[in-house]
């Protein structure tokens, strides 16, 4: 299995667990992100540098944490409308906002750094030059 297919599987696996644990928002976003990875879309462009053998440890969770950080810091207001943690309500517009965030910021990004050290996870996703 190539790294793109493996990444899509990881996202789908995590989506299933999110559904079982009561997070339909993350379940839906991860399922759609997996399809986007399959299609070579913006989610794949963000995750590709972090994909591959031995690099899958919590990749889906680190990806979602990175996006959530943008929501929490106010850098993703369209998406924030769908995140209960900032007063939003999940809805049908969550995926278009999520996808749009990846597409818009990804084109101006130096790249995504979703890195884990031995005792903490450092998340820095799609920081545009000059921000």
Structural domain of residue 61, as residue ranges? 3-124
Q: Is residue 115 part of a domain?
A: yes
Mean pLDDT of the chain: 81
Q: Is residue 62 part of a domain?
A: yes
∠ Cα 71 75 76 (to 5°): 55
Amino acid 54: pLDDT? 63
3 burial type by CB count under 10 A (0-12 exposed, 13-18 middle, 19+ buried): middle
- Is the pLDDT reported for residue 53 higher than 80? no
Q: How many domains does the chain have?
A: 1
Q: Is residue 46 part of a domain?
A: yes
pTM for this predicted structure: 0.81
**Predicted confidence band of residue 104 (pLDDT cuts 50, 70, 90):** confident
Q: Is residue 130 part of a domain?
A: no
Mean pLDDT across the stretch 86-109?
A: 84
Q: Is residue 131 part of a domain?
A: no
pLDDT tens profile 105-115: 764 433 343 33
């Amino acid at each position: 299995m190539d790294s793109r297919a493996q990444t899509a599987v990881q996202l789908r696996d995590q989506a299933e667990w999110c559904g079982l644990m009561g997070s339909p928002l993350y379940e839906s976003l991860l399922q759609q992100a997996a399809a986007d990875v399959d299609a070579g879309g913006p989610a794949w462009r963000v995750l590709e540098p972090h994909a591959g053998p031995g690099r899958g440890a919590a990749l889906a969770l680190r990806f979602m944490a990175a996006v959530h950080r943008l929501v929490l810091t106010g850098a993703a207001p369209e998406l924030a409308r769908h995140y209960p943690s900032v007063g939003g309500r999940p809805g049908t517009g969550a995926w278009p906002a999520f996808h749009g965030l990846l597409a818009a910021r990804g084109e101006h990004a130096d790249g995504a750094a979703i890195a884990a050290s031995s005792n903490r996870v450092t998340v820095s996703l799609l920081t545009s030059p000059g921000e």
